[in-house]
Amino acid sequence: MVIKAAFFDVGEVLVNETREYGTWADWLGVSRHEFSAVFGSVIAMGHDYREVFQIFRPGFDLTAERQRRAEAGKPETFDEQDLYPDVRACLSELQQQRILVGVSGNQTARAEAILRDLKLPLDVLGTSSSWGADKPSDKFFHRLLEEADAPPENVLYVGDRLDWDVRPAQALGLKTALVRRGPWGRILADTDAEQGLLFDIPDLRGLANLVKQYNVIGEASR
């Protein structure tokens, strides 16, 4: 069974979110060290990361704050310097193998526009904003499969979260790869989901070669 399409999550898979986390700490008026420590604790307890805002400032609305900042001309942003250095090569190498390459994650409309402006080597770009569905919902992954135009067993989803990326993708029959970087990639544990991984990797540097080797074996077994 070969991989015909590979889709990638955004945060901590393609984009280093360190600058974004720092911005959130500044908005709350707390030190970045303190914010990071509490943020990690919230994740380790299995809670929604947005609960960290309520710990520092009950009633804080991240969506409303983003809108207010955007209207004031100070929107959240990321650019080329926030991409992990292994991203472009990995996506390009997969395309050279004639694999459909997609990016799909829980992102705002603004983040999707920035991703388009970065002109990454990919074939499909979709986000929760444009698709009208958030991970970990089945609706999100069904839309991803429509974009892939391939059976689930021929599609690889690459993420950093066992709970929102790996487990729901596996439930629909997709192949999965876990990138162990960023807070979720290092903190979360799920034995069943981890056992079902096709690839368990520290970064994207060797992923294209792993896919190539997997497909060679798959073609040979036909």
pLDDT of the residue at 199: 98
pLDDT of the residue at 90: 98
Rounded average pLDDT over 60-76: 84
pLDDT over 90 (residue 132): yes
Rounded average pLDDT over 142-164: 98
pLDDT over 70 (residue 222): no
Q: Which residues contact 173 (CB under 8 A, 6 or more apart)?
A: 151, 152, 153
Which burial class, exposed, middle or buried, applies to 102 when counting CB atoms under 10 A from its CB (0-12, 13-18, 19+)? buried
What would you measure as the largest C-alpha separation in the chain, in angstroms? Answer: 59
Separation CA 120–CA 132 (nearest Å): 23
CB 203 within 8 A of CB 86: yes
Where in the chain is CATH 3.40.50.1000? 5-16+83-220
pLDDT over 70 (residue 48): yes
pLDDT of the residue at 63: 83
Q: Does domain 5-16+83-220 have CATH number 3.40.50.1000?
A: yes
Separation CA 105–CA 107 (nearest Å): 6
Q: How confident is the model at residue 73 (pLDDT cuts 50, 70, 90)?
A: confident
Amino acid at residue number 200: D
pLDDT over 90 (residue 1): no
Rounded average pLDDT over 207-218: 94
Rounded average pLDDT over 71-78: 83
What are the tokens at 37? 């420590």
